Amino acid sequence: MGTSQDQNLKVFISYAREDAEAANRLYNDMKMAGLDPWLDTQSLLGGQNWKIAIRGAIKNSRYFVPLLSSNSVEKVGYIQKELKEALEVLDEFPQSKIFVIPVRINECKINDEKLKELHIIDLFLNWKDGIEKILRSMGIEDNRLEKTSSQVSSTYQYDEWDEILHYIHEKRCCPFIGPEANVRWIPTNSNIAIKWAEEHGYPFEDLNQLPQVAQYLAIIKDNEMYPKKYLGKILEAIRAPDFALPEYENTVFAVLADLNLPIYITTNYDHLMEEALKSKGKAPNTEFCRWNQPIIEYARRAQIPFASDDRNYVPTPANPLVFHLYGDMDHPISMVLTEQDYIDFMLNMNNLNENSVALPTVVRRSFATSSQFFMGYTLNDINSRIILRSIGNLLITVEPPLSIAIMSPTDKNRGQVQKYLDTYTKSMFKLNIYWYDLFMFLVELRNRLNTFRKKRSMSL
């Protein structure tokens, strides 16, 4: 092993495929701390012999960080070979030198005898503290720790987490699921817009704005249903994953399904939330917002059953309601998609009366009595801002007990910018922003909830 300064910055990250999101998060934090991490998805070059490249990267790295989880410790395959090669390199190091830094990303039993001799860092208890411990093991000084993206100050304190967990436990939590939650499986709105713009010769500069491009298609085709049916076919062709598999454990949909809540509200047209609930043994009811008269007439003629039309209807964790606020892909007429749709939706929502079927009684009641969690939205997207504004107008009259939006922090929204966005969001949308990486929020939420439930079961 060399001792050059450049080599001292090289870190090999070993992980199971199911833990790719955590591996990429760690890679980004190490890059921001000034290290030179090696991760196969980021570092392998096209045409390289990957086995030779990985072997060379391990030998040329100053540190080897295996991500240990319930996925990786039991997995047979190349991850075990990487660990074996790293432990062989470790034998060449003096006992006073650190080479292998084992890291757990969930509670798992370590079977390897050599690893048991090494102090293991837990990232799942507190990602920020875990990152600090990893970097200190590498001799990184405190002023460089401040550069990591995990170091963005969090609004969360224990009492707020405690409040959140109690709302979930009492089934008084209503998640809102936005477009950023499904980008792993479904093309983004901007990508769909650009594709449509290229296909149909969209002549304007805002070709990445789906409402504008969809409006253009509706006009040139002289058919307002054309873009809705087009998008419906795209979504129908996408196969939902099996959310019961370990690799999807910490996705938005799997975590939300495990919260055992009675109501889920989505502004997406797809059925990923329903599929996640089904994978957990639940039988969800799907309903869509009847936000204008043509949709009401369509639902009546098609004899679509709406359980929520019964004022005594009560959704349960076993049979939850998934309410599609912006429409359902199976019923294209219900989609809020074009510019005109967004305008009409906002106008109609601002003029609801108590007898309106657009927002069922059970959904309105949840607005007033439940904590609102917004996941998968971003302030950079005009569509998200329209959604948040629409919902904010509905929430202002009922004042829910806790209304928060999880937003991922970036270098561009720290300091004064972050303070402004906090005030802007509270003023415009009646929401509090919690600056937290969504993936890590979900991991921490799952871990804290598991601990919360264990403590409650022990006290009974």
pLDDT tens for 165-184 read 889 999 999 999 999 898 88
pLDDT value of residue 410: 58
Q: Is the pTM of this model over 0.75?
A: no
pLDDT value of residue 57: 92
Q: What amino acid occupies position 202?
A: Y
Give the separation between CA 15 and CA 4, rounded to whole angstroms.
26
Residue ranges matching CATH 3.40.50.1220 in the chain: 158-186+238-459
pLDDT value of residue 151: 44
> What is the percent of the chain where pLDDT is above 70?
89
pLDDT 10s digits, 378-405: 877 766 777 777 777 766 665 667 788 8
pLDDT 10s digits, 25-63: 888 788 878 889 999 988 888 788 998 999 899 999 999
DSSP state of 216: H
Asked if 181 contacts 262 with a C-beta cutoff of 8 angstroms, the reply is: no
Give the separation between CA 309 and CA 290, rounded to whole angstroms.
12
pLDDT value of residue 157: 47
Instruction: Give the pLDDT band (50/70/90) at residue 76.
Output: low
Q: What amino acid occupies position 55?
A: R
Asked if 395 contacts 403 with a C-beta cutoff of 8 angstroms, the reply is: yes
Asked if 235 contacts 330 with a C-beta cutoff of 8 angstroms, the reply is: no
Has residue 71 got a pLDDT over 90?
A: no
Give mean pLDDT, residues 148-169.
Answer: 63
pLDDT value of residue 78: 67
Looking at domain 158-186+238-459, its CATH superfamily turns out to be: TPP-binding domain (3.40.50.1220)
H/E stretch holding 443 reads helix 438-459
DSSP secondary structure string for all residues of 223-276: -TTHHHHHHHHHHHTSPPP-TTSGGGTTSHHHHHHHT--SEEEESSSS-HHHHH
- When mean pLDDT is compared over 4-18, 75-89, 343-357, the highest value belongs to 343-357
Query: 337 versus 105: which is more confidently predicted?
Result: 337
Asked if 205 contacts 308 with a C-beta cutoff of 8 angstroms, the reply is: no
Query: 284 versus 369: which is more confidently predicted?
Result: 284
Structure tokens at 422: 């906090």
Structure tokens at 279: 């994978």
Has residue 200 got a pLDDT over 50?
A: yes
Has residue 147 got a pLDDT over 60?
A: no
Has residue 155 got a pLDDT over 60?
A: no
Has residue 97 got a pLDDT over 80?
A: yes
Give the separation between CA 356 and CA 367, rounded to whole angstroms.
15
Has residue 67 got a pLDDT over 50?
A: yes
Structure tokens at 326: 């912006």
> What is the percent of the chain where pLDDT is above 90?
43
Has residue 283 got a pLDDT over 50?
A: yes
User: What φ, ψ does residue 64 adopt, rounded to 5°?
Assistant: -125, 120
Give the separation between CA 364 and CA 361, rounded to whole angstroms.
5
Closest to 100 in 3D by CA, of 80, 113, 116, 86: 86
pLDDT value of residue 4: 47
pLDDT 10s digits, 253-273: 999 999 999 999 999 999 999
Mean residue pLDDT across the chain: 85
Give mean pLDDT, residues 283-296.
Answer: 97
Structure tokens at 45: 């070059």
Asked if 334 contacts 224 with a C-beta cutoff of 8 angstroms, the reply is: no
Give the separation between CA 123 and CA 126, rounded to whole angstroms.
6
pLDDT value of residue 150: 45
pLDDT 10s digits, 408-440: 765 555 567 777 877 877 777 777 888 777 777
Q: How far apart are the first and last CA of the chain?
A: 56
pLDDT value of residue 364: 87
DSSP secondary structure string for all residues of 108-146: -----HHHHTSPPEESSS-HHHHHHHHHHHTT--HHHHT
Residue ranges matching CATH 3.40.50.10140 in the chain: 5-151
Compute the chain's Rg from CA coordinates.
Answer: 24
Give the separation between CA 406 and CA 374, rounded to whole angstroms.
6
pLDDT value of residue 370: 87
CATH number for the domain formed by residue range(s) 5-151:
3.40.50.10140
pLDDT value of residue 280: 95
